[in-house]
Amino acid sequence: MYRLLIADSDPMNQEAVCGMLDWASYGFDSILNAGSYAEVVDLALDQHPQLVLVNAEIEGGKGYDLIRQLRGAGSSAIFCLLSRRNTRDELHKAMRCGARECLHLPLQEDVLREFAEWVLTRELGGVLPQEPLSPSHQDPVLQREYSEFSRITNKIIMIVKSGYRQPQTLTGIAESMHMTVSEVETVRKLLDNARLVGKAHEVKEPEEETPEDTQAVEDTAYYQARERVDSLMSGISELEQKVVTMRYGLDGKAPQTAQEVGRKLNLTVSEVVELETAALNKMRKSGE
């Protein structure tokens, strides 16, 4: 049903990733291995894998450049960067080149499983092979499993929760994560969730801080976010606006895959990716 491509120059790493999870139970009935930059490009464009795990250091080039090139060539695969550098800068590099996640090497089974389950349920529309997680793995207010969010989203949730009693603005959160325009929609959703998550962890404050004050701060941040997004969207075409809105859920609905957007707008996957890339580039230049 699905194809997985493991891009790593070390055969032992390839074998470790293959054996770490029961990929077939997740619907990945084809696992491809590539040991060099050129081999990855050939396989990715010929076999069209749904998921590609890329080592940041691969024979013949860098994983960041490889992901960027494949996305530019129209690949609709979900990319995950594998790196031995577990730093914020490495995470930002991964996000900027188009990777959905950056996982630290050596891989941990539970971390890889969490990412694979997120890809399966949120991006590919599949169903998990095991029983649903217990309530202890759910957000206490939203009643949604944390695994439904990407690891990046969960990290931003932690930032919002840890600084909930500090005045929060979209700009401040985005700057702390060094996020680009393509991540604005994630922060916008989190501002909505932060109200509920924050109330669930609320600690009594001195009487001079009133609920009205807190609500005012939250509303200000939310409307600043909306105004910023609307301003950036005004600089792209109507079709590009539709693609970006559907891909990132800016209308309040769940984000849709390139395939879903293509079906609804009568476009090919490549056309959707090209429109999305062009729109984000325009928005990024407009925001500089």
pLDDT tens-digit profile of 29-57? 999 999 999 999 999 999 999 999 999 99
Pick 79 or 203 by higher pLDDT. Answer: 79
Q: Is 210 exposed, middle or buried (0-12, 13-18, 19+ CB in 10 A)?
A: exposed
**pLDDT of res. 133:** 44
Domain formed by 2-123, architecture: 3-Layer(aba) Sandwich (3.40)
Which contacts of 218-226 are long-range, i.e. CB under 8 A and separated by 24 or more positions?
218/168, 218/191, 218/194, 220/169, 221/168, 221/169, 221/170, 221/191, 222/188, 222/191, 222/192, 224/169, 224/170, 224/171, 225/170, 225/184, 225/187, 225/188, 225/191, 226/188
Q: What gap in Å lies between CA 207 and CA 142, rounded to an integer?
A: 28
pLDDT tens-digit profile of 157-211? 565 555 444 445 555 555 555 555 456 556 556 555 555 555 555 555 555 555 6
DSSP state of 207: T
Contact between 202 and 168 under an 8 Å Cβ cutoff? The reply is no
237-288, CATH topology level: Arc Repressor Mutant, subunit A (1.10.10)
- To 5 degrees, how large is the angle CA 187–CA 192–CA 195? 120
Average of per-residue pLDDT across 209-231: 61
Residue 126 has pLDDT above 80, yes or no: yes
Beta strands at 51-55 and 2-7: parallel, antiparallel or unpaired: parallel
What is the percent of the chain with per-residue pLDDT over 90, rounded to a whole number?
Answer: 33
DSSP state of 182: G
Average of per-residue pLDDT across 228-254: 82
Q: What gap in Å lies between CA 272 and CA 278, rounded to an integer?
A: 10
**pLDDT of res. 158:** 60
Q: What DSSP assignment string belongs to 241-280?
A: HHHHHHHHTTTSSPP--HHHHHHHHT--HHHHHHHHHHHH
**pLDDT of res. 1:** 87
